[in-house]
A and B are shown apart, each in its own frame.
Chain A
Amino acid sequence: MSQPQAAVGAAAPRVDARLRVTGKAKYAADNSPDGVVHAVLVESSVGRGRVTGIDARAAEAQTGVLKVISHLNAPELPPREGQFPPGEPLRPLQDDRIRFFGQPVAVVVATTLETAQHAASLVEVSYDAEPVSTDISAAEPADDPETYARGDADGALESAPVRLDLTYRMARNHHNPIEPAGTVARWDGDRLTVWEKTQYVQGTVFTLSAEFGIPPDSIRVISPFVGGAFGSAARTWVQSVIAALAAREVKRPVKLVLTRRQLYFGVGFRPAYEYELRLGGNRQGRLTASAHDIRTESSRYERHSEHVLEPGRMLYSTPNVRQAYRHVPLDVSTPWFMRGPGYASGAFPVETAMDELAHELGLDPIELRLRNEPADDESTNLPFSTRRLRDCYRAGAREFGWHRRNPKPRSTRDGDWLIGMGMAAGVYDTQRSEAQASVRLDADGIALVQSATSDMGPGTATSMTQVAADALGLTMRQVTFRLGDSLMPPAPVHAGSQTMASVGSAVQDGCDKLRKQAITLAVGDEDSPLYGADAADIVVRGGRLYVKNNPTRGETYQRLLARNNRSHLEAMGSYAGASEAEKFSFYAYAATFAEVAVDAHLGLVRVRRMVGVYDAARIINPRLADSQAIGAMTGGIGHALLEHTVTDHRDGRIVNANLADYLVPTHADMPEMKAIYIEGEDYEADPIGVKGLGEIVIVGVAPAIANAVFNATGRRVRELPIKPEALL
């Protein structure tokens, strides 16, 4: 018998909201184990070369400084193979080579943070600097592109009646969560405990195990709260290793927190690109061919790839497609996944080009997209599990008032402001991975559910509590969900919008198992009112088991457990993840609509309102979903108009490594935003019917804004972010 759904679908507030807003939530750097001391990094001030000397005398002379560790005196770490991304991972303080500006070259450990900071500024490092290459426009790509082809794109482009040949550029972006990366490391003999800001506690165990050559089960990583991450904490970076290394050297627990500036060098970034896109079609607006050539940043020591080309491969029906993804190895730190990775980057050229084609053909941009809706996934020849993109367009157009858009650019004015409307589609693949969750129901009728997942912002603890409550037949208050400890049952990295599908399915499985155990116990118990009933007819609600069609016949978990002298019941839930040979093509979809105002003379762009419509299948909690969608639309404003990590290519220095010069939207930049979710489930994707939400919501926001800017001004800007000087 399926359980009544009371908690899932409810707009429940976050179960940890009070802890978070009262400052009682303990983030990584809030932990101060007995005897903790402080570590501060010294970073390279050249972008490439070798360290020729380190003079730490002034630093070491400071009262309270315990040790200055550099490659000159750091213990040698065991050899380590790179796993992911491919390449040779950066090893901390192991050699004199400088691979990028801001690379840690030493760490100062002192009894107070202030002493460590000051002493770090006194460490004199000399370099043999070499010329740097950090500009993708000026550097050569690696000669082994990743390619994809179907049909004959070049031939079809040649003969296409309508052809667009466009180049798009996107600036580098940084994640910039509010909580900085932080690690507190403590050794107890050979055992290591780490309080870490991470989206993947067990991934951190894995990395530290490899770095120190110690067994994974001697390491425990704890991370119950994460203050935003956007992907930046989905990898264990070198400073975490340095914290543990320093703790072993000084034989005290060590706390190491990156400064805001250091976050621009240390925890990845969304890589810049140049994307050449050729589109061919007929006058009726049917695409016949597309060719995609992208050059994108990577470091020299690792090769980072993203799914930038996927939207151009499967979003629209196109018989002939050719794609090439070229890495440009540069003297930079390795890029890393940032919200909507790949897809958000790829949506800008593809969705802007569709708008350009619609304009060229005199077609409504939605109509053009409808004419190219594919029947199945042409990149895999698999049917879509669910694809409700048409519904997204329809609902979005209605809510937004798309019919009021004048297709003629520069035709709507409000005083000094030119008004424009734009839209774009979005897509993100539905990832699922193996996960487990333990469930324990105590004799007092309270359940504890645990999995080693994370909550960087979506409200994992809340949504999991909802799933567990319904599957157990309890109220949300009767369920506690815990996460963020590597000793808990395994969970995949909290990234790629896979947590709800993966961990949620494991939670449901575990709770189903436990509920069935209780039902089996009851129907076989002569003293139970449910004795002899058909287990399939029994449901549980509010902690009471009863016969569906005869609700008076039943009893509570508490009574059942007490009578049977059971202190608790427990079960382990699991989910196997995506199958090796998928039978369907799994994606979430979005349509984003934006209205902008552009100052006709000053070039300023202000977003006036946005509507986002999502086919993410089942929505567990609409309040949390809104928080994801509105946050992502806001992030999309940054992506479209503001965010731009600037590198000085003379020495590889990032010149705007702070939140005054790297601009993110303020509250004043946030307009009225509305999110709509297309109803429906996707049980082909996973047992709880979700497709993931946190990533799809940002995919398409930037091109929707860019297209609105074109509608407002008649100026097509093919470079993000769109700045006033491009519109003067």
Chain B
Amino acid sequence: MYPFTYTKAADTREALNAGRGGGRYIAGGTTLVDLMRETVERPETLVDISALPLREITVTKSGGLRIGALVSMTEAAAHRGVRALYPVISEALELSASAQLRNMATIGGNIMQRTRCTYFRDVTADCNKREPGSGCAAQEGFNRSHAILGTSDSCVATHPSDLAVALAALEATVHLRGPDGERTLPFADFLLKPGSTPNREQAARPGELITAVEIPAHPRPLKSGYLKVRDRQSYEFALTSAAVALHVRGGVIREAQVAAGGVGTVPWKLPAVEEALVGERPSDRLWTEAAEHAADGARPLTHNRFKAELLKRTVERQLRTVGGSK
């Protein structure tokens, strides 16, 4: 680990000042410290933001949900409002990491997570994300866990967060506060596809602080849920995953929100699947037909060819779980 200085911000202003000076924000530290130990991350200054007043979960006036950036994964998953309004978020959180990590890790940190790509985490390997221009060892290397969607010649790393898949599905927004004031970004614009600059992962500007994520109100009733497919039962990143939210009224699907994880360089919203669902009556046949679109545009690599098929089946299964078998 490279030496660093550590300061603890007493309030948001102090944090932003330190951030403006190049400090890296740290809360739970479950990703950052790990990567510092591997010398992948070498921040000179850490700004501990855990004392900031960003720990509230509130139901917004419109009936949405605002989750403070420092709410722990455990707290968010257990929150009554979250469980009642958006089970997909609770489920995504509870299927993440381990209980110990969920107690430490925060919602803001969760969406800032960096990839589990083994070559990114190994400083002796070529990685454009870690060291722009060095090449991508994963393209021709071992890439079973890598992305099939949103990839580029520069990078094929998956985004590891489960929560982010649920947030992408629900079209959440990210509240940021920076030296120039506050702004809000659609979740789809917050996480960046690698393109030719895989080292740029979020649209946050230097020194900007995530203050909250907000899930907009969705028409009720809304059924939602998250399915995570992985080799072992617990404590593993997704091979594939699906976040599904359906609003059915009068026997017809009026709104469908579907996103996939484990397959994209960012959480992968599936508009073609959504379009195939809206206006239709729930049925097993519909689930199968809609899920056929889940892997549209997939670019498989040597070891992850199975993911395209597995993704379709994952989405189909979760549509049936949320929408019912008919």
Determine if chain A interacts with chain B: yes
**A contacts, CB < 8 Å to B:** 45, 114, 117-118, 121, 416, 601-604, 606, 641-642, 646, 648, 650, 653, 655-656, 658, 660-661, 663, 665-669, 723-725, 728
Residues of B within 8 A of A606 (CB): 233
Task: Report the minimal beta-carbon distance from A448 to chain B, rounded to whole angstroms.
Answer: 41
Interface of A is mostly: loop
Q: Are A603 and B233 in contact (CB under 8 A)?
A: no
Contacting residue for B233 out of A117, A601, A650, A666, CB 8 A: A666
Check if B103 is an interface residue, CB within 8 A of chain A.
no
Residues of A within 8 A of B124 (CB): 45, 653
Q: Are A728 and B231 in contact (CB under 8 A)?
A: no
Chain B count of residues within 8 A CB distance of the other chain:
33
Check if B286 is an interface residue, CB within 8 A of chain A.
no
Residues of A within 8 A of B3 (CB): 118
CA distance A114 to B309 in the complex (A): 46
Question: Which one of B191-199, B203-211, B310-318 is at the interface?
Answer: B310-318
CA distance A416 to B234 in the complex (A): 19
Q: Mark B93-131, 1 if CB is under 8 A from A, else 0.
A: 000000000000000000000001011011111000000
Please judge, given known A-B contacts A118-B1, A653-B125, A667-B234, whether A661 and B116 are in contact too, CB under 8 Å.
Answer: yes
Please judge, given known A-B contacts A114-B1, A121-B39, A653-B125, whether A660 and B116 are in contact too, CB under 8 Å.
Answer: yes
Check if B2 is an interface residue, CB within 8 A of chain A.
yes
Please judge, given known A-B contacts A663-B232, A666-B234, whether A650 and B140 are in contact too, CB under 8 Å.
Answer: yes
Residues of B within 8 A of A728 (CB): 306, 309-310, 313
Task: Report the minimal beta-carbon distance from B169 to chain A, rounded to whole angstroms.
Answer: 20
Q: Are A668 and B231 in contact (CB under 8 A)?
A: no
Task: Report the minimal beta-carbon distance from B159 to chain A, rounded to whole angstroms.
Answer: 16
Contacting residue for B239 out of A416, A660, A665, A724, CB 8 A: A724
Please judge, given known A-B contacts A642-B231, A648-B142, whether A602 and B310 are in contact too, CB under 8 Å.
Answer: yes
Q: Which B residues from 287 to 314 make CB contacts under 8 A with A? A: 306, 309-310, 313-314
Q: Are B231 and A663 in contact (CB under 8 A)?
A: yes
The 10 A-B residue pairs with the shortest CB-CB distance in the complex, in nearest-first order: A725-B306, A45-B124, A668-B233, A668-B234, A666-B234, A655-B118, A601-B313, A655-B142, A669-B233, A648-B141
Q: Are B234 and A650 in contact (CB under 8 A)?
A: no
Task: Report the minimal beta-carbon distance from B313 to chain A, rounded to whole angstroms.
Answer: 5
Residues of B within 8 A of A661 (CB): 116, 118, 145
Task: Report the minimal beta-carbon distance from B41 to chain A, rounded to whole angstroms.
Answer: 13
Contacting residue for B306 out of A121, A601, A656, A724, CB 8 A: A724
Closest Cβ neighbor of B313 among chain A residues: A601
Closest Cβ neighbor of A650 among chain B residues: B141
Please judge, given known A-B contacts A666-B234, A723-B231, A724-B231, whether A655 and B116 are in contact too, CB under 8 Å.
Answer: no
Q: Mark B128-147, 1 if CB is under 8 A from A, else 0.
A: 00000000010011100100
Contacting residue for A653 out of B39, B122, B314, CB 8 A: B122
Closest Cβ neighbor of B316 among chain A residues: A601
Task: Report the minimal beta-carbon distance from B10 to chain A, rounded to whole angstroms.
Answer: 27
Closest Cβ neighbor of A646 among chain B residues: B142
Check if B229 is an interface residue, CB within 8 A of chain A.
yes
CA distance A114 to B2 in the complex (A): 9
Q: Are A603 and B118 in contact (CB under 8 A)?
A: no
CA distance A723 to B229 in the complex (A): 12
CA distance A601 to B235 in the complex (A): 22
Residues of B within 8 A of A117 (CB): 1
Q: Are B234 and A725 in contact (CB under 8 A)?
A: no
Closest Cβ neighbor of B145 among chain A residues: A661
Check if B236 is an interface residue, CB within 8 A of chain A.
yes
Additional A-B contacts beyond A666-B234, A724-B239 (18; CB < 8 A): A117-B1, A416-B317, A602-B313, A641-B231, A648-B142, A650-B141, A656-B142, A658-B121, A660-B236, A660-B237, A661-B145, A663-B231, A668-B234, A669-B232, A669-B233, A669-B234, A724-B306, A728-B306
Residues of A within 8 A of B140 (CB): 650
Residues of B within 8 A of A723 (CB): 231
Identify 29 residue pairs between A and B in the complex whose beta-carbon atoms are under 8 Å apart, listed by A's number: A118-B1, A118-B3, A601-B313, A602-B229, A602-B313, A602-B314, A602-B317, A603-B310, A641-B231, A641-B232, A642-B232, A648-B141, A653-B124, A655-B119, A655-B141, A661-B116, A663-B231, A663-B236, A666-B232, A666-B233, A667-B234, A668-B234, A668-B235, A669-B234, A723-B231, A724-B229, A725-B310, A728-B309, A728-B313
Q: Are B141 and A604 in contact (CB under 8 A)?
A: no
Residues of A within 8 A of B125 (CB): 653
Residues of A within 8 A of B239 (CB): 724
Residues of B within 8 A of A667 (CB): 234
Residues of B within 8 A of A641 (CB): 231-232
Closest Cβ neighbor of B124 among chain A residues: A45
Residues of B within 8 A of A603 (CB): 310
Q: Which of B137, B232, B233, B317 has the most CB of A within 10 A?
A: B232
Residues of B within 8 A of A724 (CB): 229, 231, 239, 306, 310
Closest Cβ neighbor of B237 among chain A residues: A660
Closest Cβ neighbor of A726 among chain B residues: B306
Closest Cβ neighbor of A647 among chain B residues: B142
Please judge, given known A-B contacts A646-B142, A661-B118, A724-B310, whether A604 and B229 are in contact too, CB under 8 Å.
Answer: yes
Task: Report the minimal beta-carbon distance from B284 to chain A, rounded to whole angstroms.
Answer: 12
CA distance A666 to B235 in the complex (A): 8
Residues of A within 8 A of B234 (CB): 666-669
Residues of A within 8 A of B233 (CB): 606, 666, 668-669
Task: Report the minimal beta-carbon distance from A202 to chain B, rounded to whole angstroms.
Answer: 36
CA distance A663 to B232 in the complex (A): 8
CA distance A728 to B236 in the complex (A): 20
Task: Report the minimal beta-carbon distance from B262 to chain A, rounded to whole angstroms.
Answer: 12
CA distance A661 to B233 in the complex (A): 14
Residues of B within 8 A of A665 (CB): 232
Closest Cβ neighbor of B42 among chain A residues: A121
CA distance A604 to B233 in the complex (A): 9
Q: Mark B201-236, 1 if CB is under 8 A from A, else 0.
A: 000000000000000000000000000010111111
CA distance A606 to B313 in the complex (A): 18
